[in-house]
Amino acid sequence: MPISRSSRWKKQWRSGGNAGICMHAALRCFPKLKKGTQMKITLLLALCVFLAACSTTPLSSQDASPVPPERLHSFQDADAGSSRLVVTRDKGLFGSGCRTNTYINGVHAAEVGAGESARFYLKPGRHIVGVQPRGICTGGLKEAEVMTEKNKESRYRISIDSSSSMDISPTAF
C-alpha cells in the first residue's frame, strides 16, 4: 500500500529536519487557502529556506574531505621541523554554493569548499591566515594570527554565521 503524502511529510517532520517541519506546515496550510494569501505562502517558503540554510555544523578534520590537489596552491612541502596548519571548513547548506580562498602571509594557498579540510606545512613562528569567500557568496577578507611550533599541528575552522559573515578561528576539532 503506498504511503500518503501526508504521512510522508509527517515522517520527515518527525526526523527533526527544518525542511521537513516547513513542508509539513505548508501542506497543512494549503487546504485552508483563501484569496490574497500568496504573500503568506511566499513568506513561509522564504522562512523555510532561511531556516534550512542556517544549519552549518563544525566538522573535525578527520571527518572532512580533503581538498583536491588541484585546489591546493602552496605550502604543501613538508620539511623536517616544519609545523602543520590544518584548516577545515564547516559543513552545511549555508554558503555551500561557494568556495573559500585561503591565504597564508598574503599568498593564495588553497580554495576550500564546504566540508573540506586542507593541510599546510609552515616554518615555525607567526603567520597571518586569511579567508575570503569567492563565487556567489559575498563578504570581505577575514584574517587571524597563527603561532606555529616546530613539529606541532595547529587547527583552525572556517565558519559562516547567520549574517553571512565568514570567519576563521582556532578549533579543537
The 10s digit of each residue's pLDDT in 121-163 is 999 999 999 999 987 777 889 999 999 999 999 999 998 877 7
pLDDT at 91 over 60: yes
Q: Would you state the pLDDT for residue 165? A: 81
Task: Output phi, psi for 24, to 5 deg.
Answer: -65, -45
pTM over 0.85: no
Name the residue with higher pLDDT: 60 or 97: 60
- For residue 16, pLDDT over 50 is answered with no
| Confidence at residue 63, expressed as pLDDT on a 0 to 100 scale | 92
Q: What would the grid cell of residue 168 be? A: 576563521
Pairing state of beta strands 107-112 and 142-148? unpaired
Q: What is the pLDDT of residue 139?
A: 81
Which pLDDT score, from 0 to 100, does residue 92 have? 78
Give pLDDT, residue 160.
Answer: 83
Rounded Cα distance, 129 and 137, in Å: 19
Rounded Cα distance, 142 and 84, in Å: 21
Q: Which residue has the higher pLDDT, 84 or 56?
A: 84
pLDDT at 1: 47
Closest CA to 163 of 88, 94, 98: 94
Reduced to 3 states, what is the DSSP secondary structure of residue 93? coil
